[in-house]
Amino acid sequence: MNDDHYVDPEMKPALVRMKVRMAARAPMTDVPVVDMRKRARDDFAAMNAHPPALAYVENTEVEGAFGKCKARMYDATGTRAGAPGLIYFHGGGWIVGDLDSEDEKLRRLALASGIRIVSVDYVLAPEHKFPNPLEDCIAAVKSIRKSAPELGLDAERLAIGGASAGANLALSTAIALRDDNTSWLRFMLLFYGAYDMASQAPSRSLFNEGYGMTAEAMEFFYSLYLNGPTERTDPRASPLHADLTQLPPAFINAAGLDVLRDDSRALAERLRECGVPIDYDEAPGVIHGYTLLAHEVAAARDTIKRAAHALRLALV
């Protein structure tokens, strides 16, 4: 078997559960968005059933582009002032997901890094199509920096990050801040992101069957997020088509069995060419979203620890 298709033994039980679950359900493309979100909430709840205890977890609100955004703060140290911070956007294809989706992962990241994390619940498509979710994220990030003292944060020690669609939004937000001549972001933490909606890279076909996320699923997400196919190459939607110079250093993570694997490889190459310092981290044998399985997959725990180390080096 080609080494590209090596499966981490600890991933196999999750893959079996996923295949059973998918076989018992109607295809995602046949399900109303409200039902899709309910299914996603149920799936995420199972993955976050036993989160580690943390000294400080608090729900709050921040100003977004369309009113208040729900947000959740995580801090292993507890209540404090002037903490270095990570502003984080969850995954979910721009369509599903909320503050609970990556709760265990963010608790683990806070514990391993010592960084205060602010997770933001941005607006979703199709009710808010492109570029509304991005506009919400940009507004939320600016609001968080402006309110840094009230949130216990150091306004000069802030990073941005996310997973999957959240990584797309985090990178595009960093680009928008740079274009506004705003250079206060210190770091980017990007997990298995979607960075090029026009891509026909090999990973799109290599891992299209048997590994959870499919190219067809990504096409479906794009169709709900975008207003039309011409937006696939809009640099705000596909940041690999943007100018990537003068961005903050980045930790770029990829999953070895992910249809989006090559997006992360391409982003790492482009950032290097643009002189942006990067730490590229590709985990073999794991699928898209694997960092949500830290309770059972050592590779997920290891990735979170490496990400936490990079984050701490950048901010502390």
pLDDT of amino acid 105: 98
The answer to whether residues 115 and 84 touch, using CB atoms and an 8 Å cutoff, is yes
Burial 60-71 (b: 16+ CB within 10 A, else e): eebbbbeeebeb
Q: Rounded to whole angstroms, how far apart are CA atoms 221 and 224? A: 5
pLDDT of amino acid 1: 40
Percentage of the residues of the chain whose pLDDT score is greater than 90: 95
The answer to whether residues 174 and 160 touch, using CB atoms and an 8 Å cutoff, is yes
The full length of the chain comes to: 316
What CA dihedral angle connects 50, 51, 53 and 55, to 10 degrees? -160
Q: Which of 316, 292, 312 is nearest to 303 (CA)?
A: 292
pLDDT of amino acid 58: 98
164 counts as catalytic: yes
pLDDT of amino acid 183: 85
| Packing angle of the helix pair 132-146, 165-179 (nearest 10 deg) | 60
288 counts as catalytic: yes
pLDDT of amino acid 182: 87
Q: Rounded to whole angstroms, how far apart are CA atoms 199 and 219? A: 11
pLDDT of amino acid 184: 94
DSSP-derived letter for residue 106 is: H
143 counts as catalytic: no
Total domain count, the chain: 1
Domain enclosing residue 248, as ranges: 3-315
SS3 content of the chain, % helix, strand, coil (to 5): 45, 20, 40
The residues of the chain scoring below 70 in pLDDT are 1-2
Tokens representing 16? 């079996």
Active-site residue, selected from the candidate residues 98, 196, 258, 281:
258
CATH of the domain at 228: 3.40.50.1820
Active-site residue, selected from the candidate residues 113, 164, 172, 203:
164
